[in-house]
Amino acid sequence: MSGPLAGLRVVELAGIAPAPFGCMVLADMGAEVIRIDRPGAPPPVPNDPLTRGRRSVSLDLKKPAAVDAVLRLVERSDVLVEGFRPGVTERLGLGPLDCQARNPRLVYARMTGWGQHGPLADAAGHDIDYIAVAGALEPIGRNGGRPVPPLNLIGDFAGGGLLMATGILAALYERERSGRGQVIDAAMVDGAALVSTFLYGLKANNALSLPRGHNLLDGGAPYYDTYVTADDKFVAIGALEEKFYAELVTLLELDPAALPANRHDPANWPELRSQIAAAVRRRTRDEWAALSVGSDACLAPVLAPDEAARHPHNKARENFVELAGIVQPAPAPRFDRTPSEVPGPPAFSGEHTREVLAELGLTEEELSQLM
């Protein structure tokens, strides 16, 4: 692999969603990621894009010889990532102390929902639970409605896998000075709270003081919302600044004299929303997309994931690739001197077991026992 992380070796104890995503980010940037799968365990999603760019080794970690093989791999690796509940890897003999005894330079990343300590540390949960407790879910939703789960983007991926990858890179940077690895406690509840930092500034300045769905960025303001088009699709409007709002008024062919004089007054929002909605309804989504080209009206078509790859801007930037028959986002961000390659397709479970273990110097007899 090429990329800025070429030469970095990561051991990934197979899990779901956030930890694989963090490892995908590292692999996309050139790291060699070796995934330890359970024998016979089917992938959560066939050809899962989150597992791209790895080699897969199938080992039964309940067997001492398999655990020893992982520890031998740890000896020559830089990072280990695990996404189990607290204490699981310790019981397997692959906890931080076990691994760092074999490699003091190892960065050991632990990805959990609730973290390694606290009253909820051992409790089950999913993204919706973590972001609920973090305060990230309550502000999301329509006027008078319930909080709306934003898929599992905030807890699993932004607050989970992405911040875990950031922590790994920070620990690797520190290791250059100290020569020592460390343990990273990456919890989705922590990360979801951190992702929400901006909201606390808004609240402190009374910009998020109204109930859910009544504020500037939560669909309350009519110039920052989505609208139905003539073909029952949607456009997104984000004309916050005055100059962009003026361009929006021109694009929508609204009469400035008929609009509320103070667009920032929530008392005027129902009337302004009504006029914008009626104007947007006159054309199809794609007609508005074409009309907005070259404009600063901050109007964009709302595209489904399978449409996004066909958008001219995404095509020009090659933002999507096809791997194993699945169109998916390409690696990001971009590097001018050490660009990332197109990642390899997901490996089937255990595809590289013999290859990787042979690299560790296991004998044929040892290989046969582990296989």
Positions marked active-site: 126, 156
- Residue pair 181/107 in contact (Cβ under 8 Å)? The answer is yes
Running DSSP on this structure, what letter comes out for residue 22?
A: H
- Residue pair 16/83 in contact (Cβ under 8 Å)? The answer is yes
Find, among 154, 151, 163, the residue nearest to 187 by Cα: 163
**What b/e sequence results for 39-60 when a residue is b if at least 16 CB atoms lie within 10 Å of its CB, and e otherwise?**
eeeebeeeebbbbbbbbbbbbe
Q: Which residues have a Cβ under 8 Å from the Cβ of 344 and sit 6 or more positions away?
A: 52, 53, 54, 323
The CA-atom distances, in angstroms, between 147 and each of 135, 195, 368 are 11, 17, 54
Q: Quote the CA–CA distance of 91 and 324 in Å, as a whole number.
A: 36
Tokens, residue 277: 């909605």
Q: Quote the CA–CA distance of 213 and 148 in Å, as a whole number.
A: 11
How does strand 224-228 pair with strand 326-329?
unpaired
DSSP code string of 151-206: TTIIIIIIIIIIHHHHHHHHHHHHHHHH----EEEEEHHHHHHHHTHHHHHHHHTT
Four-CA torsion 303, 307, 308, 312, nearest 10 degrees: -110
For 3, the 3-state DSSP assignment is coil
What are the two backbone dihedrals, phi and then psi, of residue 21, each rounded to the nearest 5 degrees?
Answer: -65, -45
